[in-house]
């Protein structure tokens, strides 16, 4: 075992000693059923042969991080019994808005969390991150509102990774709508100017997401009957943050390799650095944040190839259906209802094309039937979005129009954020439901 691997294993074992309330009952030497070394039994079995096998050290890293929570945020979340949930949220928000010194008698765990987030990694170039944010404003303002629901559904295709969402009550329409809107809020707010600096809105949103995930881990490990660590491992381990945080650069890297390119252009490099830093703020270990196209593909496939394939209709199917049925707009005005009707059709097609390989039957089996009208609506909308994106790209590349176009996009993003609603990034332990009995959970 290399020194790096040994230090990872030390961090994992340390969870038990430093946070016995959360991890005391977890045997970190046992790999959960969710983990597989057989790629043909994994979540990427259908396309694994299209890529070279990821390097052994990456596979080992993913294996280790399958059992790692977020040590720093978990320690803060574990103060819930002492401070209460609301106080923890308030103190974190104050520290993000005004600095840690603005929190009277700030607990050491909060000081540590803010200090960790404010520590700049050696590789960080904030100018590149700012440029990446600027480049991401266009897709977030124009395409994302139509695609976020369809992309969000991808997180529900595996029972091992979807269970925390099911347990936290995301199966009801209102909760599902809130979760999608909060996810949209997080990814959208981080693209605003200055959002990722300390005291910025994106920095604060990342801190809140970390606390929310830690609270889910705390509540699931301590209170949920039926969460079987030997089957599911740690709830929301660090490797499960990778798909949402890195999907855009993963798809970019994929496309580059298909084109035979191995080097990012200047614009691509800025987008990659933006995504890497956003993941870093979310607490992802730096050695999961690759900076070359092949490295990004390898680490993502190492993760996908480590998760046992398993679709359980009671968990996965129910989450997909609840999310597709949810009414997302903030009101029932005519415009909102029209948006909802069109966006639902578009999301179905995004989901089927991007995550089910265009398989309409697989979608229908999940309770997501699609019609030719859905495809027609998606085609019209897709063309409209592409034309709008092209017009903005042209304006952003024109010296006299660049600043104006960027200000328009920033204003659009502010409007979107108002529509997504105030994101609380919280989890209500009272709404948790017990996990399915082990026999049902094991159905493959």
Q: Which residue has the tokens 């900076």?
A: 291
pLDDT at 438: 42
pLDDT at 280: 96
pLDDT at 430: 55
pLDDT of 173 strictly over 90: no
pLDDT (tens digit per residue) in 350-401 = 999 988 889 999 999 988 999 999 999 999 999 999 999 999 999 999 999 9
Task: State the number of CA atoms in the 13 A half-sphere of 176 facing the CB.
Answer: 21
Residue 22 domain flag: no
Q: Whole domain around residue 55: which residue ranges?
A: 32-421
pLDDT at 441: 39
Indicate the range of 71-85, 161-175, 373-387 predicted with least confidence: 161-175
Residue 184 to residue 419: CA distance in whole angstroms: 10
Residue 341 domain flag: yes
243, 124 contact by CB (below 8 A): no
Q: Which residue has the tokens 């969000």?
A: 152
Residue 444 domain flag: no
pLDDT at 222: 84
State the average pLDDT over residues 31-38.
94
334-355 helix and 372-396 helix, angle to the nearest 10 degrees: 100
How many domains are contained in the chain? 1
pLDDT at 361: 93
If DSSP states are collapsed to H, E and C, what string results for 385-423? HHHHHHHHHHHHCCCCCHHHHHHHHHHHHHHHHHHHCCC
Residue 143 domain flag: yes
Burial class (CB in 10 A: 0-12, 13-18, 19+), 2: exposed
181, 170 contact by CB (below 8 A): no
- Report pTM: 0.91
pLDDT (tens digit per residue) in 205-224 = 999 999 999 999 998 888 77
State the average pLDDT over residues 166-194.
85
pLDDT at 134: 97
Residue 429 domain flag: no
Q: 435: pLDDT confidence band, cut at 50, 70 and 90?
A: low
Give me the percent of the chain exceeding a pLDDT of 90: 68
Q: Which residue has the tokens 């909802």?
A: 340
Residue 130 domain flag: yes
Residue 75 to residue 53: CA distance in whole angstroms: 36
Residue 405 domain flag: yes
pLDDT at 225: 74
pLDDT (tens digit per residue) in 272-311 = 999 999 999 999 999 999 999 999 999 999 999 999 999 9
Query: Residues 219-232, buried b or exposed e (16+ Cβ, 10 A)?
Result: bbbbebebbebebb
* Three-class SS state of 163: helix
pLDDT at 49: 82
pLDDT of 426 strictly over 80: no
326, 180 contact by CB (below 8 A): yes
Residue 67 domain flag: yes
């Amino acid at each position: 075992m290399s020194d790096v691997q040994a230090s990872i294993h030390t961090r994992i074992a340390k969870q038990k000693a430093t946070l016995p309330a959360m991890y005391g009952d977890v045997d970190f030497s046992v790999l959960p059923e969710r983990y597989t070394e057989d790629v043909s039994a994994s979540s990427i079995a259908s396309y694994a042969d299209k890529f070279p096998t990821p390097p052994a050290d990456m596979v080992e890293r993913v294996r280790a991080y399958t059992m790692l929570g977020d040590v720093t945020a978990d320690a803060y979340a574990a103060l819930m019994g002492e401070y209460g949930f609301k106080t923890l949220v308030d103190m974190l928000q104050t520290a993000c808005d005004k600095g840690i010194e603005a929190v009277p008698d700030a607990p050491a765990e909060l000081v540590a969390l803010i200090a960790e987030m404010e520590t700049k990694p050696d590789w960080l170039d904030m100018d590149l991150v700012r440029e990446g944010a600027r480049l991401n404003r266009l897709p977030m303002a124009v395409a994302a509102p139509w695609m976020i629901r369809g992309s969000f559904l991808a997180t529900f295709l595996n029972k091992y990774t979807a269970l925390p969402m099911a347990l936290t009550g995301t199966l009801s329409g209102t909760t599902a709508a809130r979760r999608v809107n909060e996810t949209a809020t997080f990814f959208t707010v981080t693209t605003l100017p200055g959002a990722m600096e300390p005291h910025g809105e994106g920095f604060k949103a990342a801190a809140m997401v970390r606390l929310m995930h830690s609270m889910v881990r705390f509540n699931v490990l301590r209170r949920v009957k039926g969460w079987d660590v030997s089957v599911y491992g740690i709830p929301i381990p660090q490797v499960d943050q990778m798909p949402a945080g890195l999907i855009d650069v993963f798809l970019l890297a994929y496309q580059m390799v298909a084109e035979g390119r191995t080097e990012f252009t200047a614009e691509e490099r800025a987008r990659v650095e933006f995504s890497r830093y956003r993941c870093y703020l979310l607490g992802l270990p730096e050695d999961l944040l690759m900076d070359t196209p092949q490295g990004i593909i390898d680490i993502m496939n190492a993760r996908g190839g480590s998760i046992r394939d398993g679709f359980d209709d009671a968990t996965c199917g129910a989450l997909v259906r609840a999310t597709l049925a949810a009414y997302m707009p903030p009101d029932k005005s005519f415009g909102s209802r029209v948006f909802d009707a069109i966006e639902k059709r578009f999301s179905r097609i995004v989901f089927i094309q991007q995550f089910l390989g265009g398989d309409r039957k697989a979608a229908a089996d999940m309770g997501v039937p699609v019609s030719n009208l859905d495809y027609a609506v998606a085609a019209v909308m897709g063309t409209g979005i592409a034309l709008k994106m092209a017009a903005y790209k042209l304006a952003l590349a024109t010296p006299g129009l660049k600043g104006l176009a960027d200000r328009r996009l920033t204003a659009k993003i502010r409007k979107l954020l108002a529509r997504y609603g105030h994101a609380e990034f919280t989890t209500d332990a009272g709404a948790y439901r017990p996990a399915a009995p082990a026999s049902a959970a094991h159905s493959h």
